[in-house]
Amino acid sequence: MFRKNIAGVDTIRNIIVRSNSYTGKWVLGKETCNSRSFSTMTQLLTKTTGQEKATHADSETAPKTAQLLAKQDKYTLNTYARPPIIFSHGKGCRVYDLAEREYLDFTAGIAVNALGHSDPEVAHVISEQANKLVHLSNLYHNEHAGELAEYLVESTRAGGGFEASKVFFTNSGTEANEGALKFARKWGKFYGKKGINDGSVNTEKFGVISFSNAFHGRSFGALSATPTKKYQSPFTPMLPGFVSAPFNDLNKINEFVNDTTCAVIVEPIQGEGGVWEASVPFLESLRKRCDDVGALLIFDEIQCGLGRTGKLWAHQNFPKSCHPDILTMAKPLANGFPIGAIMISKRVADIIVIGDHGTTFGGSPLACKVALNVASRINTPKLLENVNNVSGYLFSSFERISKKFPSLISTIRGKGLIIGIQFTRDPSPLLKLARERGLLIITAGNDTIRIVPPLILNKEEAKKGIEILEECIEIFNEQS
Ligand SMILES: Cc1ncc(COP(=O)(O)O)c(C=O)c1O
């Protein structure tokens, strides 16, 4: 028993080591030692933080890893803070580093690998099509772009999604948003105030409204709609006409969206911003206001679409009165093979003509063939049911864990397999703690851990991930 924790407060790696005046020993959590030397303290710290249980310590990577990292560092322009490990292969919901250590993947390449890693069918389709025709450019038709467009439009309509009509293929999510914003700018020119086409070219309707915490990409158009300061400020000025409004604030919609607005762009569930779901009244009011002022409503479903919420599209969780004119998608569309798409309603398609937009790689036979395989396998009752079942298990587990650590975890948010765990302090140390125990997780927004595993995650894998994460949260909690 400790009588009192007196003075001796030593901080090594932000951990407080207390002296026990009763026994004269140094104490950290449940561990004690006699000496206050740095090495003893470090050992104590290691024991207490559960570091000895780290099965995948960063320091124990394969010898080849350090060499390769040093070599790559010399030539790679690095804009990411990455751990000192190199992944070489994956299977299903697991990935392996060069030291052959296995990790359970709760990140899916940031909501990309919906069907998991090294999916045999995807590998087969890639190989088969690569042996036939990889690329031809958009100067010619190919067999698969039309087939994929038809699948996306028809399955969106059949599943109760918005009134989709046509699709333009891109190479990434950012590029899909760029195209959508360009289409909206043309819409503004064409239709002018109140959405009426009187034959004149309207030059004043070019405003784009996005929302706080939104993430739409890093190119100039997409970045201008991404109001996070750290992303924008090194590259200002942003494009003219882009304004950010508060997310989910109904009272501000009329103030921001007006006759000069050509588009409103919104994620039905914000991903990077911290897993924040738009409310039905908010999206309904946006839809109504867009109609009133003749602006287009763009849903960015790049992260939350394609099965992640347990339906093909996130907007299918919302009533028709919320539905968009344009939907952008990318990430899981070809399970990691790069492709994005802009899906538009007929009235938008009607104003886009030959020459308005283009791309060299977008809509290649290879990307489209893979995407058709992936999208049609995501959009099956079995897979979507799995998302809902595993989601239920994860949510109840996170709720239980949050009750165990009420001062550390405040809320659990999200839908399906896009889940945000809101911490009361920066949870980024959890990434290393989890990784060193064989679990990959990521953060989002402010003090949020984001869980976006492959959609094929099963209950056993979910359980294993929860066990690791719970242990890490316990350690993290002791570190406070
Ligand atoms: C909602 C959303 N929009 C756009 C993007 C940008 O997509 P990409 O990285 O494929 O360009 C992302 C990427 O994280 C995203 O989450």
> What are the chain's domains?
124-379 (3.40.640.10), 382-417 (no CATH)
Spatial neighbors of 55 by CB under 8 A, at least 6 apart, are: 101, 436, 437, 438
The pLDDT of residue 8: 30
Kindly state if the Cβ of 113 falls inside 6 Å of ligand 1. no
Residues facing residue 19 across a β-bridge: 6, 26
The per-residue pLDDT for range 52-92, each reduced to its tens digit, is 579 999 888 888 999 999 999 999 999 999 999 999 999 99
If pLDDT is split at 50, 70 and 90, which confidence band does 29 have? low
Per-residue CA distances from 299 to 88, 330, 338, 342 (Å): 35, 12, 20, 10
| H-helix segments, 159-192 | 173-191
Ligand 1 atom index nearest CA of 214 = 1
d(CA 454, CA 113): 6
Kindly state if the Cβ of 420 falls inside 6 Å of ligand 1. no
Closest C-alpha to ligand 1, atom 3: 216
Residue 133 parent element (H or E): none
Best residue among 265, 302, 308 to mutate for probing ligand 1's pocket (most ligand atoms within 8 Å of CB) is 302
In contact, 328 and 181? CB cutoff 8 Å: no
The per-residue pLDDT for range 238-285, each reduced to its tens digit, is 999 999 999 999 999 999 999 999 999 999 999 999 999 999 999 999
Kindly state if the Cβ of 267 falls inside 6 Å of ligand 1. yes
Cα of 243 from ligand 1 centre, angstroms: 19
Phi-psi region of 202 (alpha: psi -120 to 50; beta: other; left: phi over 0): beta
Asked whether the predicted pLDDT for residue 35 surpasses 90, the reply is no
In contact, 210 and 216? CB cutoff 8 Å: yes
d(CA 139, CA 350): 21
If pLDDT is split at 50, 70 and 90, which confidence band does 2 have? very low
Kindly state if the Cβ of 173 falls inside 6 Å of ligand 1. yes
The pLDDT of residue 4: 26
Relative to beta strand 409-415, strand 418-423 is antiparallel
Identity of the residue numbered 168: F
Q: Pick the residue with more confidence: 99 or 4?
A: 99
Asked whether the predicted pLDDT for residue 51 surpasses 80, the reply is no
The per-residue pLDDT for range 179-233, each reduced to its tens digit, is 999 999 999 998 866 667 777 888 999 999 999 999 999 999 999 999 999 999 9
Residues facing residue 6 across a β-bridge: 19
Q: Is 416 helix (H, G, I), strand (E, B) or coil?
A: coil
d(CA 343, CA 76): 35
Query: Any idea which residue has 């042996």 for tokens?
Result: 131
Kindly state if the Cβ of 271 falls inside 6 Å of ligand 1. yes
Percentage of the chain exceeding pLDDT 70: 88
The pLDDT of residue 15: 41
The pLDDT of residue 224: 98
Kindly state if the Cβ of 244 falls inside 6 Å of ligand 1. no
Cα of 81 from ligand 1 centre, angstroms: 18
Kindly state if the Cβ of 303 falls inside 6 Å of ligand 1. yes
Relative to beta strand 296-300, strand 326-329 is parallel
The per-residue pLDDT for range 128-144, each reduced to its tens digit, is 999 999 999 999 999 99
Spatial neighbors of 467 by CB under 8 A, at least 6 apart, are: none
If pLDDT is split at 50, 70 and 90, which confidence band does 42 have? low
In contact, 388 and 455? CB cutoff 8 Å: no
In contact, 326 and 296? CB cutoff 8 Å: yes
Q: Pick the residue with more confidence: 12 or 52?
A: 52
Closest C-alpha to ligand 1, atom 9: 173
**Burial class of residue 349, CB neighbours in 10 A (0-12, 13-18, 19+):** middle
Cα of 12 from ligand 1 centre, angstroms: 38
d(CA 152, CA 174): 19
Percentage of the chain exceeding pLDDT 90: 84
DSSP structure class, residue 322: G
In contact, 322 and 287? CB cutoff 8 Å: yes
The pLDDT of residue 59: 85
d(CA 324, CA 458): 33
Mean pLDDT of the chain: 91
Relative to beta strand 261-266, strand 207-211 is parallel
Cα of 5 from ligand 1 centre, angstroms: 49
Residues facing residue 439 across a β-bridge: 104
User: DSSP strand E in 13-108: where?
Assistant: 15-20, 26-28, 31-33, 87-91, 94-97, 102-105
Relative to beta strand 15-20, strand 26-28 is antiparallel
**442-444, strands of its sheet edge to edge:** 409-415, 418-423, 448-451, 442-444
Comparing CA positions, the residue from 352, 369, 380 lying closest to residue 455 is 380
Tokens encoding 303 = 């992260």
Q: Is 402 helix (H, G, I), strand (E, B) or coil?
A: helix
Asked whether the predicted pLDDT for residue 370 surpasses 50, the reply is yes
Rounded to two decimals, the pTM is 0.90
Other C-beta atoms closer than 10 Å to the C-beta of 451 total 27
Asked whether the predicted pLDDT for residue 155 surpasses 50, the reply is yes
Ligand 1 atom index nearest CA of 340 = 10
Query: Any idea which residue has 């864990």 for tokens?
Result: 401
Asked whether the predicted pLDDT for residue 10 surpasses 80, the reply is no
Per-residue CA distances from 96 to 61, 67, 100, 196 (Å): 12, 18, 5, 57
The per-residue pLDDT for range 325-356, each reduced to its tens digit, is 999 999 999 999 999 999 999 999 999 999 99
The per-residue pLDDT for range 407-447, each reduced to its tens digit, is 999 999 999 999 999 999 999 999 999 999 999 999 999 99
The pLDDT of residue 121: 98
The number of angstroms, rounded, from the C-alpha of 21 to the middle of its chain's C-alpha atoms is: 49
The pLDDT of residue 194: 64
Residue 9 parent element (H or E): strand 5-12
Tokens encoding 261 = 């607005």
Asked whether the predicted pLDDT for residue 110 surpasses 70, the reply is yes
Closest C-alpha to ligand 1, atom 7: 173
d(CA 155, CA 130): 27
Kindly state if the Cβ of 332 falls inside 6 Å of ligand 1. no
